Amino acid sequence: MILLSWPACVAAALAGVWLDRLLGEPPRWHPLVGFGRLAAALESRLNRPAPPLRQRLAGLVAWSLLVLGPAALAWLLVTAAQRASPWLALALHALALYAALGARSLQQHIAPIADALSARHLDEARRLTARIVSRDTADADTEALARAACESALENGNDAIFGALFWFLVGGAPAVVLFRLANTLDAMWGYRTPRLLHFGWAAARLDDLLNLLPARLTALSYALLGATGPALRCWRTQAPAWSSPNAGPVMAAGAGAVGVALGGPARYHGAWEDRPPLGAGVAPGAAEVRACLRLVRHTLWLWLALAAAGALACLALDLRATLAATSCPAAHAFAPARA
């Protein structure tokens, strides 16, 4: 990590996760809401009819202003805080991770869908599902709604939790700010619509790059915590056919780990899209939605446990080195002199 030792980094990560679990998203105003408005305003100003290359360049400029600027500001803030007080810097790092995480929000948005499906309240399940996915849900049946919820839980486990946690452990507040804002711009601009096809190209490609390693670590974690053999097999055989290079491994491994059949046709904006299959096993229902949420939750525990174990190992090595350094002078002081 750039500005913190590994034990301090893990302490800040644990504090950020604890804040997310305790508080969830800010009840009145989330920083990403204001960022989204700023991004929409800048897109409307810079995204003009132009040749594809010029539109891509405009999108890259907009991405740089919206992502690199705040990341640089975060670096300046934590650097200044580190000089003033390491505890203040630690608090700023933890707050940055808290603002970027969405673990509690993911549970709060998807668990009620499972509850509505269990109670056979399809209208309520459709309303809740429409809040988290872009596919059409107005006449979706139980299986389609459960499939959407499962896919959202598995994919957003990477986007809203593990990708953010990975980059925080790599580079602290500046890195997690960069990742979260880049991911948000991909969600806003990374569509193959006539308006965003070229302007959103940079946002989509850079998000793919930032998620390349976290997505595969997430997929591996899903596989280790679930049905490992089917998860790895689904990852190997199904992920390459998926349109997203990162969502494919995450959802294929997650679906295989849970033992549920996902993917397949889905309707977006009134048109059916024939998507490849993901996973293997039973058709999705309320129980499978809860199983996917449980897998995400257990994966978070695994990551935190591994990070904490690494921090304890670092502390043990530091203590050993300190004890060795303090014992060496005494040993030399009592050593017999040469004749």
Tens digits of residue pLDDT in 35-46: 989 999 999 999
* Angle of the 122-130 helix axis to the 103-118 helix axis, nearest 10: 160
- Identify the DSSP state of 267: E
Contact 158, 214 (CB under 8 A): yes
* Angle of the 52-63 helix axis to the 163-189 helix axis, nearest 10: 140
Q: Residue 79: which residues within 8 A CB-CB, separation 6 or more?
A: 3
List, for the chain, all residue ranges whose pLDDT scores fall below the cut of 70: 1-3, 27-28, 328-339
DSSP states along 149-207: HHHHHHHHHIIIIIHHHHHHHHHHHHHHHHHHHHHHHHHHH---STTTTTTTHHHHHHH
Using CA atoms, how far residue 86 sits from 4, 180, 312, 316, in Å, is: 9, 24, 19, 21
Q: Residue 24 has what pLDDT?
A: 86
Three-state DSSP class for residue 209: helix
CA atoms within 13 A on the CB side of 251: 30
Contact 241, 235 (CB under 8 A): no
- CA 184 to chain CA mean position, Å: 11
Q: What backbone phi and psi angles, to 5 degrees, belong to 178?
A: -60, -50
Q: Residue 329 has what pLDDT?
A: 56
Q: Residue 192 has what pLDDT?
A: 83
Q: Residue 231 has what pLDDT?
A: 98
DSSP states along 30-55: -HHHHHHHHHHHHHHHH--S--HHHH
Q: Residue 1 has what pLDDT?
A: 44
| 139/137 Cα distance (integer angstroms) | 6
Tens digits of residue pLDDT in 205-254: 999 999 999 999 999 999 999 999 999 999 999 999 998 999 999 999 99
Mean pLDDT of the chain: 92
Q: Residue 27 has what pLDDT?
A: 62
| 173/196 Cα distance (integer angstroms) | 29
